[in-house]
Amino acid sequence: MSGQKITIEYNDRVVRQFLLATVIWGAVGMLVGVLIAAQLNFWQLNFATPWLTFGRLRPLHTNAVIFAFVGNMMFAGVYYSTQRLVKARLASDFLSALHFWGWQFIIVCAAVTLPLGLTRGKEYAELIWPINLMVVLIWVVFAVNFFWTLARRREPALYVAIWFYISTIVTIAMLYIVNHLSIPTSLLHSYPVFSGVQDALVQWWYGHNAVAFFLTTPILGIMYYFLPKAAERPVYSYRLSVVHFWSLVFVYIWAGPHHLLNTALPGWLQNLGMTFSLMLWAPSWGGMLNGLLTLRGAWHKLRTDPVLKFYAAAVTFYGMSTFEGPLLSIKSVNALAHYTDWIIGHVHAGTLGWNGFMAAGMIYWLLPRLWNKPLYSTALANLHFWIGTVGILLYVAAMWTSGITQGLMLNATTEHGTVLAYPNFLDTLNTIRPMMLMRVIGGGLYLAGWFLLVYNFYRTVKGAAPVNGTIEVYDEAPAPDAKLSLAGTFFSAPTVFWFLAVGFGSMWMFGTDLVSTAGIVGAVACLIAAFALVPSRSKAWGGWYEKLLLNALPFTLLVFFAVVAGGLIQIIPTVLVQKAKNVEDRIQTPYTPLELAGRDIYIREGCYLCHSQMIRTLVPDILRYGDYSRLGESIYDHPFQWGSKRTGPDLARVGVKYPNVWHLRHMEDPRAISPGSNMPTYPWLLNHSYNASVLPAKIKVQRMLGVPYGPLTAQQIFDSMDEQAKGIAKDLRTAGAYVDSDKEIVALISYLQTLGKSLPVITKSAPR
């Protein structure tokens, strides 16, 4: 053994900090979750208070559990395991501290702004643009700290957990930046650069892969490190973990469009999303089996060890939810399940079962090691496990039952499919109320289990001295022949063939006649050449691959190219093609200034979280809500408002369906109009005045984004708003409702009344 023997002290302080933050934010996020679940049962729990309504608290719940709870847990797990896997202390104490405190500051900012209604109106991407910039900055800090640590590592080989962490860092950076591209209209507001179908595709490319690369890949990395440690035996099959990683990274990124099945999204994207979602079955179950089989010979320990209990259940829930996901991505199943509680049940099987239980197992395993003191109570940890498990099962079973009931009732028809069997939407809502209540009980039990963890955590660390792990290693430089330069990475045959195949394939798919033919010829020639070279070059290519596993930077770049390919092939054609000038059939008319102001109020109140604006190409949808939504009918919507859940009915064609006074009374007291409704009341909309002064800046940005507004002066905008608002107020007065024309309800009514209005597209000749 050459080199000098040195002692390394790990930076476990930052791990402890992230662990503590996980416990606290987990409790906050879950508490808000139980509250909003209860609000759906008891509308009074909205307290007629703006910042306590469902529409504003739901984004707080989702952001808290994703970015605050799982985010902090992920950082704790990544930092703890990476230092040990690479035998190096984190590169910078300053960056580690900046990462921790910066992330907590972001969470606090989100917790303040979301209840205030400051939102971008896109699910899991609600945070306003100044916070977006902070997220990007802190993510870069995380990336620099992580890769700098890898660069200083004393273990040349990169364990598979590190691969998963690398894929998380590069992919989340890409997804987050693209989906948050916006143009500010003020310090607290912006419009996304994408609109309509483009925005929908980008949003669910992000939304789906936030699940993939924020809630799955880092936790898989944590599984591959902590599960063998807890079971005291190596992973069942390292070979399978390699297959798991690469197939997951290549396949996952393509599956986003399965969130938009049967909508106005082009059919080829829907088919692509469905196909790749089905292919995800294989790698996901490979990973699950690898996790469970790691426990071979250690199953008896589950009787006494709560850590292994949590891990075994978590991996089982991972398998269950990754079976359910592809199932829900089949178009016909999706026609039943989309917009219903089934999706909520699916998501929570993953988050409560997989993420929550992995977090609990990791925390119970780390506590004694980071504070050098036995866990306060194993019995309490076991109790946590059982309460949590019962909670999840109640929750998931309730949502499955509720979702399938909703889907069946809303899609049911009679008279040979020409008449809806349950035309009143509220029939469905009132049928699923017992299931919604069971969800509150299940969620409450899970939360109670988490409070047991909080108490156990507190009693364990109370009076205990925190300790940092140390290790003695030989300080060795990596062998020269193991190094792989960037040139060696990209000018090697496998990489060149990969790029050529993607290039020729793109030419084939997107090119015109000649380019397309060249693409086919090139792709086939590429494949033949690659296979012809395999016998003579396979050893050299194998050596290249082995070197790749020892070189973090080339490995990272190749992972990036693997994930970016799926996104580009789906998004670039959509962004280039789905523009107003190419739209056929029907096209949206731009909103008037007052309608735009009303739309921003609609987004502020989170209406899109319960109401979709997308009538699918399905008979029951058309019978219930009107003609199916055309792609061009939301082409100027920054952001799109297609929605993902129908707690209430679709609103795509609600305009002129009811008189103005109906909307006013409905917002004032929904139950006066729709007995049995669970919608909150919005009395403040009748008292607060809308802010007209921001409209010139907003319209200027809309114009920059391609919405065809004429050259309106600020005064013209104010005059237009005033005139339209007075017309609505006058109409309301005629109907017996007295409200000033400058109130928010007037702007909101103007927006709701324009939904569904569009113009036919007149073309000189039919498209080829």
The residues that touch another protein, with contacts defined as CB under 8 A, are: 9, 12-13, 81, 84-85, 87, 155, 157, 159-161, 225, 228-229, 234-235, 238-240, 242-243, 246-247, 250-251, 254, 266-268, 271-272, 275-276, 279, 282-283, 369, 372, 465-472, 501, 505, 509-512, 542, 545, 573, 576-577, 582, 584, 767-768
Does residue 152 sit in helix, strand or coil?
coil
Q: How far is the CB of 293 from another protein (least distance, A)?
A: 13
**Chain centroid to CA 494:** 33
Does residue 644 sit in helix, strand or coil?
coil
Q: How far is the CB of 243 from another protein (least distance, A)?
A: 5
Nearer to another protein, 267 or 675 (CB): 267
Nearer to another protein, 584 or 740 (CB): 584
**Tokens (6 digits) for 130:** 């100044």
Q: How far is the CB of 97 from another protein (least distance, A)?
A: 15
121 and 642 in contact (C-beta within 8 Å)? Answer: no
Shortest CA distance to 266 belongs to which of 570, 524, 56? 570
Residues in the chain: 768
Mark residue 422 as left, alpha or beta (left: phi above 0; alpha: psi -120 to 50; beta: remaining).
Answer: beta
Residue for token pair 């703890």: 80
Q: How far is the CB of 182 from another protein (least distance, A)?
A: 26
**Chain centroid to CA 126:** 11
Nearer to another protein, 303 or 768 (CB): 768
Q: How far is the CB of 226 from another protein (least distance, A)?
A: 8
Does residue 125 sit in helix, strand or coil?
coil
Nearer to another protein, 634 or 677 (CB): 634
Does residue 345 sit in helix, strand or coil?
helix
Q: How far is the CB of 154 from another protein (least distance, A)?
A: 11
Q: How far is the CB of 330 from another protein (least distance, A)?
A: 13
Strand (E) or helix (H) holding 759: strand 758-760
Beta strands in 371-451 (DSSP E): 413-414, 419-420
Q: How far is the CB of 236 from another protein (least distance, A)?
A: 9
Distance between CA atoms of 612 and 470, rounded to whole angstroms?
A: 54
Nearer to another protein, 9 or 740 (CB): 9
Q: Please give, one letter per residue, the 3-state secondary structure of 194-258.
A: CCHHHHHHHHHHHHHHHHHHCCCHHHHHHHHHHHHHHHCCCCCCHHHHHHHHHHHHHHHCCCHHH
Nearer to another protein, 141 or 272 (CB): 272
- Residue 254's identity, in one-letter code, is W
Q: How far is the CB of 560 from another protein (least distance, A)?
A: 16
Shortest CA distance to 16 belongs to which of 94, 77, 82? 77
Distance between CA atoms of 257 and 263, rounded to whole angstroms?
A: 10
Q: How far is the CB of 579 from another protein (least distance, A)?
A: 10
Nearer to another protein, 133 or 515 (CB): 515
Beta bridge partners of 760: 586
Nearer to another protein, 275 or 431 (CB): 275
Beta strands in 628-751 (DSSP E): none
Nearer to another protein, 64 or 523 (CB): 523
- Rounded to 5 degrees, φ, ψ at 89 are -70, 150
Q: How far is the CB of 699 from another protein (least distance, A)?
A: 30
Compute CA distances 350 → 244, 325, 674, 684, 704, whole Å: 18, 10, 35, 37, 40
Distance between CA atoms of 281 and 327, rounded to whole angstroms?
A: 9
Q: How far is the CB of 102 from another protein (least distance, A)?
A: 23
Shortest CA distance to 201 belongs to which of 509, 570, 631? 570
Residue for token pair 């292919």: 279
Nearer to another protein, 244 or 348 (CB): 244
Nearer to another protein, 211 or 251 (CB): 251
Sequence-distant (≥ 6) Cβ neighbours of residue 538 within 8 angstroms: none
Nearer to another protein, 316 or 468 (CB): 468
